[in-house]
Amino acid sequence: MTKKIFRLMFLAGLLVLSSLSAGCGMFSGKEVNALKLENANLQGRLESTDRELERADQDIRSLESDLAQAKADYDELKASKPAVGPVPPGVTKITVSDSVLFRFAEADLTSAGKRELDSIAADIKRRYHGQRISVEGHTDSVPLGKPATVKRYGRNVWLSAHRAWAVADYLIGRGISENLVSVVGRGSSKPTGLGADRDRRVEIIVLSR
């Protein structure tokens, strides 16, 4: 029932009470008490509805503000030039798509992702023994959507950090010294310019000696 109907019912109840107080004599004492009780109930329901509508208005304003900010961030990133530049001399970058490593919007490694990292870890130990490694997580610029994902990670940058840590921890477990490994979550700050699918990635960067 809408707020307008509640108000009309409440006003009707007031009119009835006004008639009773004027000595109309149309109702018995029992009926008068019943009408008073009904009017009190209507007033309580009206006040409750007012509070619920006010909370709903606040939620709508908050969502509109979040949406406007997300759109502004997306437009800014879309208009910017790709932030990924050439790899400096002596630096090796191994890029792995998030679709290989993780399920959508999660940070737990898949079986396929672990197999891929097994091969990468073996190659790093063979070719780059003793060199420092930076594991960098990247996402696209689309805000996290599912409530459960938002509750767990908050923002894209934290999802990227969790994913980078998952990769780094797995590499360490495969024999790469943790003293040589650093972890960075970059969120959507370094788009590839090649689309969202390519933006969602983990980069394992072997630094020069």
Q: Are 192 and 74 in contact (CB under 8 A)?
A: no
- The reported pLDDT for the residue numbered 151 is 85
Query: What is the model's pLDDT at position 62?
Result: 76
In this prediction, residue 80 carries a pLDDT of 46
pLDDT band per the 50, 70, 90 thresholds, residue 44 = confident
Do the bridges between strand 201-206 and strand 92-97 make them parallel or antiparallel, or are there none, so unpaired? Answer: antiparallel
The reported pTM is 0.59
Contact between 140 and 200 under an 8 Å Cβ cutoff? The reply is: yes
What's the pLDDT score for residue 34? 74
What is the per-residue pLDDT for 81? 47
Q: What pLDDT digit, counting tens, does each position of 54-104 carry?
A: 888 888 887 777 777 766 665 555 544 445 566 666 689 999 999 999 998
Count the Cβ atoms, other than its own, within 10 Å of residue 2: 9
Q: How far is CA 59 from CA 54, 62, 95, in A?
A: 9, 5, 41
**Tens digits of per-residue pLDDT, 161-171?**
999 999 999 99
Exposure on the CB side of residue 160, measured as CA atoms within 13 A: 27
Pick the CATH number of 92-206 from 3.10.20.30, 3.40.50.720, 3.30.1330.60, 3.20.20.210: 3.30.1330.60
Residue 145 has pLDDT above 60, yes or no: yes
**pLDDT tens digits along 150-192:** 888 888 899 999 999 999 999 999 999 999 999 999 999 999 9
**Residues 132, 116: Cα–Cα separation, whole Å:** 20
pLDDT digits (tens, 9 = 90+) for 10-38: 556 555 555 555 554 555 667 767 777 77
Task: Count how many Cα atoms sit within 13 Å of the Cα of residue 50 in the half-sphere of its side chain.
Answer: 8
